Chain A
Amino acid sequence: MASYFRPASLEEALVIRADADVMPIAGGTDVYPAKVSRAGWGDMSHKDVLDISAITSLRGLSQSDTHWRLGALVTWSEVARASLPASLRGLQQAAREVGGVQIQNRGTVAGNICTASPAGDGAPNLLALDAEIELASRTGTRRVAMRDFITGYRQTACRPDELVTAILIPKLPEQAEAIFLKLGARRYLVISIAMVSALAVCDGAGRILDVRLAVGACSATPQRLASLEQALIGEPIAGAGAKVGKQHLAHLSPIDDVRGSAAYRLDAALTLVRDALDGLAGSARRAA
């Protein structure tokens, strides 16, 4: 039977992490399904478990002058309920679309990106927000940019002796707006076929000063659309959607699976990117 550790402090946890091959558990919404999926075909084994839920220093959503800080134990529901600026609206929309309410109440944002599923709803938002991931080990703390954190299909930069302690999101100008669009085959409890997170900062005349677009479920890891972002700088947000072309998504490499074909994913991503920009234009209009 697996050993179970539930330390109350980060220091203790990092000692355990350094000494043993343990699987961290926060909300458990990925850990248990993975265990059940193995057991479904007769693999009854499980690693030892490091439960981080009693570490109070990992809780809570806070802010400094420059950043929003999501402790590693912040759940989707906490994100959904918090009052946050419009730049975090995409993340909040994702928070309301992850699974169902039960999953949102338990699942953490940090756990979501540690699982690093290509269909994870957290990553595209954090990618668009240029978030940084704070990692701690016995030897110290480091920060990794979100774009470097997910390194491959279900792989991250988190070393076996490290824990994610927080997600840091740089603050943006007040007029920044964000949106998240998720495509699935039913209303609730659905894994994305494709999703898009978009964020824009416009000037008073509705011209784009800064724009970030990230697409999920269309490559092994979520991808920013760098060429499109560059092309849109200085353009009016109204009508920006119409400027999106296939070439802007050329670096995506979606797969065929039971949820959708590769060709469909790519085309749907194109549609969602246009819709997201149109959505941002709509919010900009309403704000004006």
Chain B
Amino acid sequence: MQQRVDTERIVLTLNGHEQTIDAEPFASLADTLREKLGLTGTKIGCEAGDCGACTVLLDGRQVCACLVPTCQADGCDVTTVEGAGPHGLTDKLRNAFLAHGAAQCGICTPGMLMAATDLLATQPAPSRADIEDALGGVLCRCTGYTKIIEAVADVAANRALKAPTAEAGHAVGSRIARVDGFPKVAGTDRFGADEAPADALWMRVIRSPHARAQFTFGDLDALKARVPGLVAVLTAKDVPGENSFGVFPHLKDQPVLAEGHVRFRGEAVAALIGTREAIETLSDRDVPITWERLPALETTEAAVDQHAPQLHDFAKGNILARGHLRTGDAPNAHAQSAATAEGNFETAFVEHAYIEPEAGYALPVGDGPERIEVVACTQAPYMDLEDTARALGFPPSRVRIRPTACGGGFGGKLDVSVQPLLAVAAWVTKRPVRIIYSRTESMASTTKRHPAKIWAKSSADAQGRLTSFEMIGDFNTGAYSSWGPTVANRVPVHGMGPYKVPNAWLRTRAIFTNTTPAGAFRGFGIPQAAIANETLMDDLAEKLGIDRWQIRRANALDHGDRTASGQVIKHSAGLPMCLDALKPDWDEGLARVAAFNATSQRVKRGLGIACMWYGCGNTSLSNPSTMRITLAQDGTLTFLNGAVDIGQGSSTVLLQIAADALGLPPQAFRMIVGDTDLTADAGKTSASRQTFVSGNASRLAGEDLRRKILALANAGPEARLSLESNRLTIIDGEASRTIDLATLAADANGIVLDGNGTWDPPTTTLDENGQGVPYATYGFAAQIAEVEVDTQLGTTRVVGIVAAHDVGRAVNPTLVEGQIHGGIAQGLGLALMEEFIPGRTENLHDYLIPTAGDIPPIKIHLVEDPELDGPYGAKGVGEPALIATAPAILAAIRHATGVRVDRVPVLPHRLWAALKAGEEAEA
């Protein structure tokens, strides 16, 4: 009998080399690879087989390393992303992924590469279905799988696409590979969980299992004394500064650690700090906490009831924020119209489901310690800095935020999560402390998309021109403020859709409940509102007997039109162009669907169309970005870019812009991204603002440096530059001058020249009726969805999407397409399968996001109606990509079945029930 208590000697062949390790036999292979062997290329997204990020080859076959006991790898061949793979296949796939833009955030990339390696090693000529089968066990939240499948197909067919390199002055518009791409495909990029000082302590948070409760602690000192390796148990009283954080300065209402009272299931109440073994073997039930449960407010209806308990003192009636827009006389205009439609709509909590759970570490620096550094995944380093300093009671200068690579964000990593906790832990223990959220913890404790209950009413004249629009929307903002006010404010501006409406009245409320805080998620409430307004467009089309494309074309905002907030759209209004681009697809689609349905009884096809718009940048608020480029004596050209790239590609796009503004190729630059000690505040990566706002700052920084160089050389504006080590050459027509940078006066850092740029989009505040210029520019899009519905089972399969997006200018078309694919995949999930229910769908087993087999072929029309205020004409695409998809799918389901869907997700049982109800009504 072999009893193993501690570690065991295991011999395996790792990427071709024999390796002997002493490992815990029951530790997962993923954990052993990462923590024992330092091979952090293998990622962990769930530890439960659900995400496939940990996929490695075990004796040549793909397995989830998180499900393999380490001792079962004894005597086996293990191949990870760090290896070249059989016949160098992994290396070939790496290049293809890079060229295709198949890695966005890159957290799924190692798993994808291993799954694809397994496929191509055993099946050299796979079909698309074979590729989907092979990749079906790896989730990707960024790419919509399209470019991944294309990359694998390319390698299978022995095609080798190469991404171009851009010449000086020709970077904008070029499909260069992402500048941070190589480490992602090599598995060497460092995400939040991938590094920490060797002597770091570990932290585990104890969270409330109740939605609303009071609690008290027993003797925590006794616990500490009893449990070997337990160094500290943090509670609210250990927070040296303000025990509260939040997005808005006047709404810092969420405690770092709860003070005797919790408002949602998953709220942090204490943190165990110690050796990894100590914190991972001590169960919550062994920590002395006494709970007293209180009745919880689970819905917005319950929360606004006049007898409901008040969750926050400052929020009367549990209302966090209201939004409002009013123009003309909407109620009266309805009465005068040829056709009116109205309805109630409901959406669910949606989880960001980035594949990387929150993780990082904090480091005390200097005596005292003098400073605390937090190294973690984030979308908003400067906001982290503010709330971390606040929790510590430090001035901001005593905190440094160093973002790691971010394995997906989508709005969910805008709020702080691990940062203040880590900082307080490092402060209290005077030691480095690390934390890795479990998947359940990430899902239960971080923000979600707001569930919405929306009533809307829309009217049109006999020609189908909109006359009036009304909306009342209640958004469940959960237990804490987060971005609730932003959602409440954005929706009234956008809620009528991208159409001309002379009379409009929109009212929103963000309402506190005892549920997971709802915050920012790609679209800030607009995807929910779009479901309502696009459904009403179809209602009106039906009532008036007008084609659904036609009614949208007739109302589409165009150059010179006024929005409902009274803003005249000056330039870049490409919605009519998008719709025109889609017209042939629409006509062909209608014919195809009709032909299919003529011979198919049970399975029906349908076609739907939807439009969207989205203001780039913050609503009526200053949101500047500052960028800097430096040139050193030794010729090092550095782009200091404070905008965190969360996978969407801002590092690449901003570099392309900066490079062209300066007149040197992107390859000439070195990048420093988002370190609060080194880069200026570029604002957060959200609201589709980085290309537009930080893009302008990058352009200005490039132009500034160029101006200084040209002045130095006395050259004209058309001069060409080249840089070779410390020799900068300026060629102006016939004349050429070379400057030896080493001879120029340098500052303390060796910098001889620099360029700086700051840009803030021009907006105005909105008056009490929501009138003004809330955004400097808008992204527009229209999408067509084609679906197939099994009318017996209620299942829906999306069989095609055609998307037309006005992006102003596609700075990097590959990256723009990637954003659109990924947005469509998330929109598909929102429409058909995603529903977060606290306590029930807190893992990626029960919370479903689309897999490689759920995404249809996607055709894209890139429309470029230049935004004169944008850098080289560009504006944002991050959020626009998602918004039109769900309403287009719902419209297609309606076209296929006659069921007008007013609740998402359209799970099979819901559609089935609606189909049954329809049949019964007919009978």
A271 within 8 A of partner (CB): yes
B85 within 8 A of partner (CB): no
Q: Which residues of B contact A6 (CB under 8 A)?
A: 2, 4, 25, 71
| CB–CB B4/A106 < 8 A | no
| CB–CB A40/B441 < 8 A | yes
A68 within 8 A of partner (CB): no
Q: Which residue of A lies closest to B55 (CB)?
A: A102
Instruction: With A36-B438, A101-B134, A188-B851 as known contacts, state yes or no: A183 contacts B795, CB within 8 Å.
Output: yes
Q: Which residues of A contact B282 (CB under 8 A)?
A: 44
Instruction: With A32-B47, A36-B438, A51-B71 as known contacts, state yes or no: A268 contacts B1, CB within 8 Å.
Output: no
Q: Quick one: which of B438, B845, B908 contacts A183, CB cutoff 8 A? A: B908
| CB–CB A258/B837 < 8 A | yes
Q: Which residues of B contact A152 (CB under 8 A)?
A: none
| CB–CB B841/A258 < 8 A | yes
Q: CA A108 – CA B66 in complex, angstroms?
A: 16
| CB–CB A3/B833 < 8 A | no
**Which one, A156-164, A229-237, A259-267, is touching chain B?**
A259-267
Q: Quick one: which of A5, A43, A187 contacts B283, CB cutoff 8 A? A: A43
Q: Which residue of A lies closest to B280 (CB)?
A: A44
Q: CA A33 – CA B49 in complex, angstroms?
A: 7
Q: Which residue of B lies closest to A191 (CB)?
A: B845
List 28 A-B residue pairs with CB atoms under 8 Å apart, sorted by A's residue number: A1-B5, A1-B281, A4-B25, A5-B1, A5-B2, A6-B2, A6-B4, A15-B1, A16-B1, A32-B66, A33-B50, A40-B438, A41-B207, A44-B283, A51-B69, A99-B137, A100-B137, A101-B133, A102-B64, A106-B63, A185-B848, A188-B133, A188-B137, A191-B845, A261-B913, A263-B913, A271-B792, A271-B793
| CB–CB B49/A102 < 8 A | yes
A105 within 8 A of partner (CB): yes
Instruction: With A51-B71, A53-B72 as known contacts, state yes or no: A33 contacts B48, CB within 8 Å.
Output: yes
| CB–CB A32/B848 < 8 A | no
**Scoring B residues 439 to 463 as 1 if CB is less than 8 Å from chain A, else 0, what string do you get?**
1110010000000000000000000
Which one of B441, B840, B853, B908 has the greatest number of beta carbons of chain A within 10 Å?
B908
A28 within 8 A of partner (CB): yes
Interface size class of B (residues with CB under 8 A): 35 or more
B674 within 8 A of partner (CB): no
Q: Quick one: which of B24, B48, B281, B907 contacts A44, CB cutoff 8 A? A: B281
B571 within 8 A of partner (CB): no
Interface size class of A (residues with CB under 8 A): 35 or more
Interface set, chain A 142-176, CB cutoff 8 A to B: none
Q: Which residues of A contact B22 (CB under 8 A)?
A: none
Instruction: With A185-B848, A264-B913 as known contacts, state yes or no: A36 contacts B47, CB within 8 Å.
Output: yes
Which one of A46, A102, A186, A264 has the greatest number of beta carbons of chain B within 10 Å?
A102
| CB–CB B792/A42 < 8 A | no
Q: Which residue of B lies closest to A187 (CB)?
A: B853
A49 within 8 A of partner (CB): yes
Interface set, chain A 189-228, CB cutoff 8 A to B: 189-191, 193
Q: CA A148 – CA B287 in complex, angstroms?
A: 42
Q: Quick one: which of A37, A96, A106 contacts B48, CB cutoff 8 A? A: A37
| CB–CB B794/A264 < 8 A | yes
Q: Quick one: which of B52, B67, B139, B912 contacts A268, CB cutoff 8 A? A: B912
Min C-beta distance of A12 to chain B, whole Å: 6
Q: Which residues of A contact B438 (CB under 8 A)?
A: 36, 39-40
**Scoring A residues 248 to 288 as 1 if CB is less than 8 Å from chain B, else 0, what string do you get?**
00000000001111011101100110000000000000000
Q: Which residue of A lies closest to B266 (CB)?
A: A41
Q: CA A40 – CA B284 in complex, angstroms?
A: 10
4 further A-B contacts with Cβ under 8 Å, apart from A32-B48, A260-B907, are A15-B1, A36-B47, A41-B207, A190-B848
Q: CA A214 – CA B907 in complex, angstroms?
A: 24
Q: CA A183 – CA B794 in complex, angstroms?
A: 11
Q: Quick one: which of A7, A39, A41, A49 contacts B209, CB cutoff 8 A? A: A41
B190 within 8 A of partner (CB): no
**Scoring B residues 768 to 802 as 1 if CB is less than 8 Å from chain A, else 0, what string do you get?**
00000000000000000000000011110000000
